Amino acid sequence: MVIALAGVVIFITHMENSNNNILSAISTFSDLPATEFNQAISSGQYQLIDVRTLAEYKAGHIKGAKEEDFYQTEAFSKYLDTLDKNGKYLIYCHTGKRSGLTLGLMQQKGFTTVYDLAGGYSAWVSSNLPVEK
């Protein structure tokens, strides 16, 4: 079942456990504007992933972000496989295209909570939010 509320897509799946009880898992995948993305970072509840190239990352990034190059397809997919599917993640790229694709990939891989920076790093910079070089 898929439910869409105010730009947030929630996926509800059903699984049977060893006792044959039905468990419900709720997954959240959404774009967040820069100010809300910043608040999520400040909460300390999320792992921040920059999916741009190393050169882009070195030119400037959001403090605390881990760089993992989306274009290094095999290595990137293997990196995602190492992450906790039940963890909470914030992702971004330059404009939102790569991170949008990453959002879909993470959804396919079974992640439960992933937020994408709407408009990417360029929206972050335009909002005069802090960057690190």
CATH code of the domain covering residue 116: 3.40.250.10
Least confident of 23-27, 51-55, 85-89: 23-27
- Provide the residue range defining the domain that includes 60: 28-126
Is residue 38 situated within a structural domain?
yes
Is residue 91 situated within a structural domain?
yes
Is residue 94 situated within a structural domain?
yes
Is residue 106 situated within a structural domain?
yes
* HEC readout, the chain: CEEEECCEEEEEEEEECCCCCEEEEEEEEEEECHHHHHHHHHHCCCEEEECCCHHHHHHCECCCCEECCCCCHHHHHHHHHHCCCCCEEEEECCCCHHHHHHHHHHHHCCCCEEEEECCHHHHHHHCCCCCEC
Is residue 90 situated within a structural domain?
yes
Does position 110 have pLDDT exceeding 60, yes or no? Answer: yes
Answer with the residue of higher pLDDT: 15 or 123. 123
Average pLDDT over residues 55-61: 98
Bridge partners (DSSP) of residue 15 are 23
Confidence of residue 10 (pLDDT cuts 50, 70, 90): very low
Average pLDDT over residues 75-104: 97
Is residue 50 situated within a structural domain?
yes
User: What's the number of domains the chain is made of?
Assistant: 1
pLDDT value of residue 26: 56
Confidence of residue 80 (pLDDT cuts 50, 70, 90): very high
Is residue 131 situated within a structural domain?
no
Does position 124 have pLDDT exceeding 70, yes or no? Answer: yes
Is residue 108 situated within a structural domain?
yes
Q: pTM of the entire structure? A: 0.81
